[in-house]
Every structure is written in C-alpha cells, then in structure tokens.
C-alpha cells in the first residue's frame, strides 16, 4: 500500500483493499474510516482530494482498514450503529442493530393507540438494547426491563440507556428468560418484545464473516432447527403478558409458521405480522385475551 498521505491516495488504496476483501460498499466505507481516523469531512474528501493528512492519522486509517479487510464489522470500527435514527454503541458482545429489526418497532407503534400511557415493556435478549430503548424513547411514560443472559451485553445496553438519557426508566436483569425476574413482580407486562437467537446451529458457519467471526454466537444459535428459544419463550410470554397486551417477536426466514404454532399452542392469539425491507415476514404479533 502506498505511503502517501494525500486524501485521494489513501481513499484509492482503501477502496481497492476493501473491494478485494469482498466488502460490498468499498468507496463509502473507505470514506467512513478516513473520517474516523483523520476527522476529514466528506466535503473535504470530495472537494479537496489533493490535501494531505498527518502521518499519525494516515497510520490510524491504515490500521482501521486492515481490521475491516479482516471483515471486522464497520460498526465496531466506528463504535456505533444507527437504529431508528439514534446511535447505539456496539461491540463483539452484542448483535449489530439491523434495519430489518425496525419492522418490529413500527409494528408495535402501529398497534398502540396512546403513546402517553405508562406501558410496562420487557425485552428478552436485549443485546445492545436497541429495541427496548427505542420504544422507551418514543413512549415517554413507559418503563422497561432489559433481560439478557450475557453480563457483557447488559453493560452495552446500560451504556446505551445512559447515552440516550433513559437509565432511570430501565431495570437491567441478567439471566435466562424469566429466571432473570425472580426478584421482580413480573406480572402484567403490556408489551413484550424479543429478537431471540434463531439461526439453526449448522447454518452459522455459512453466514457472512462479519457475523461468524465477530458477533456473539450466544445471540445467534437457535439450536438444531432454530426454534429452541421460541419454545422456551412461548410459555413465558403467555404467562407474563397482561390481558390485552402485545407481544412482538422477530423471526428468521421461513420460521413464521412454526413460531406462530408455538405461540398459539401456549395460549396466545395471533395479531398479525410485519414485513422487513425485503418484504419478508420478519415479526410476528400476538395478543393475550
């Protein structure tokens, strides 16, 4: 790679390296990395590509580039991922918030007739907290419970709650599903959300390198058929959901029929579905009569 510190040369080298590594948007990501490394704005990159950056910033850019070439997620290098127009801190301890998960958020809001109510909301497998914290940010009187088996993931969720000014309205609980709530009075949640592990174990190795190498398998591995977490969650949701309450559950490709059957067998009522950006069934909705 060239030792030049000109913006144009750094971006050119970066784009070539990222393209060769199989990154889908090499030009965009090269600009993002240079922005982080050198504080150079897109306006400067485009309008004044002949300008140089200092040697230290150029080396920082090359170090970030090497990590991205190894397919470390761009969000880890930037330190955040945007979700519902808000920044969420991420690390290899949590799944990256994904645009497709915004379908769950929209589905919940479409079902609420009064955003000023003091809803009780619980998020099973909260990870970064993006689902719960987004709901709390839009529902100013609501209170939330964030549950995760991973202490490291809960630390990220706590960090995000603090940065969004929501810490006072969230209780963080470490443990497996409802076992994490033993010290609480868990009856009567108005809204239950979850994006549980749903990838069949044998399929994980075939996922993108960013996922396989850098995201927590605990949050990915759904067991042999991808449905292990749903089997555990179905009776928990049926017990904890308040009468008339809403459950919104994210699912993987082709899992709708199976997950719906599990939830209905637990005594929940089918309340619809939500599609993701590719018009695939992404979220299932249930009510408790």
Asked if residue 196 belongs to a known ligand binding site, the reply is yes
State the Cα–Cα distance between residues 37 and 186, nearest whole angstrom.
Answer: 46
Is there a binding annotation on residue 91?
A: no
Pairing label, strands 86-89, 281-287 = unpaired
Sign of CA dihedral 150, 153, 155, 157: negative
Closest among 174, 167, 171, 176 to 196, alpha carbons compared: 176
Is residue 126 annotated as involved in ligand binding?
yes
4: annotated binding-site residue? no
Q: Which residue has the tokens 């000014």?
A: 165
Q: What is the DSSP letter of 171?
A: E
Q: How far apart are the first and last CA of the chain?
A: 64
Is position 195 annotated in a ligand binding site? yes
Q: How many CA atoms lie within 13 A of 101 on its CB side?
A: 23
> Is residue 160 part of an annotated ligand binding site?
no
Q: Is 214 annotated as a binding residue?
A: no
Find out whether 87 is annotated in a ligand binding site: no
- Any idea what the Cα angle at residue 82 is, between residues 169 and 197, rounded to 5°? 75
Consult the annotation and say whether 119 binds a ligand: no
Q: Is 128 annotated as a binding residue?
A: yes
Distant-in-sequence, close-in-space partners of 238: CB < 8 Å, separation ≥ 6? 263, 266, 267, 268, 288
Query: In sequence order, what DSSP letters do the residues of 90-138 get, joined into one string?
Result: --TTSPPP-GGGHHHHHHHHHH-S-TTS--EEEEET-TT-HHHHHHHHH
Annotated binding residue 20: no
Q: Indicate the annotated binding residues for S-adenosyl-L-methionine.
A: 125-129, 148, 177, 195
Q: Indicate the annotated binding residues for substrate.
A: 195-198
Q: Indicate the annotated binding residues.
A: 125-129, 148, 177, 195-198
């Amino acid at each position: 790679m060239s030792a030049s510190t000109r913006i144009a040369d750094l971006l050119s080298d970066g784009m070539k390296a990222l393209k060769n590594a199989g990154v889908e948007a090499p030009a965009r990501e090269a600009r993002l990395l240079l922005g982080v490394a050198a504080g150079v704005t897109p306006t400067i990159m485009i309008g004044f590509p002949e300008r140089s950056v200092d040697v230290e910033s150029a080396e920082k850019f090359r170090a970030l580039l090497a990590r991205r070439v190894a397919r470390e997620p761009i969000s880890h290098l930037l330190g955040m991922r945007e979700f519902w127009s808000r920044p969420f801190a991420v690390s290899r301890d949590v799944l990256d918030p994904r645009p497709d998960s915004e379908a769950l958020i929209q589905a919940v809001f479409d079902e609420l007739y009064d955003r000023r109510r003091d809803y009780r909301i619980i998020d099973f497998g909260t990870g970064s907290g993006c689902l719960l914290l987004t709901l709390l940010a839009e529902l100013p009187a609501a209170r939330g419970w964030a549950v995760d088996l991973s202490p490291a993931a809960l630390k990220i969720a706590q960090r995000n709650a603090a940065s969004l000014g929501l810490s006072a309205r969230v209780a963080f609980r470490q443990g497996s599903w409802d076992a994490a709530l033993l010290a609480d009075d868990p009856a009567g949640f108005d809204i239950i959300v979850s994006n549980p592990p749903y990838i069949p174990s044998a399929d994980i190795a075939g996922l993108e390198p960013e996922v396989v190498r850098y995201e927590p398998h605990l949050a990915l591995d759904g067991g042999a058929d991808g449905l292990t977490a749903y089997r555990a969650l179905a009776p928990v949701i049926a017990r904890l959901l308040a009468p008339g309450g809403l459950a919104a559950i994210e699912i993987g490709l082709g899992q709708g029929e199976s997950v719906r059957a599990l939830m209905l067998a637990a005594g929940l009522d089918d309340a619809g579905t939500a599609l993701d950006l590719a018009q695939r069934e992404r979220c299932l909705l249930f009510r408790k009569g």
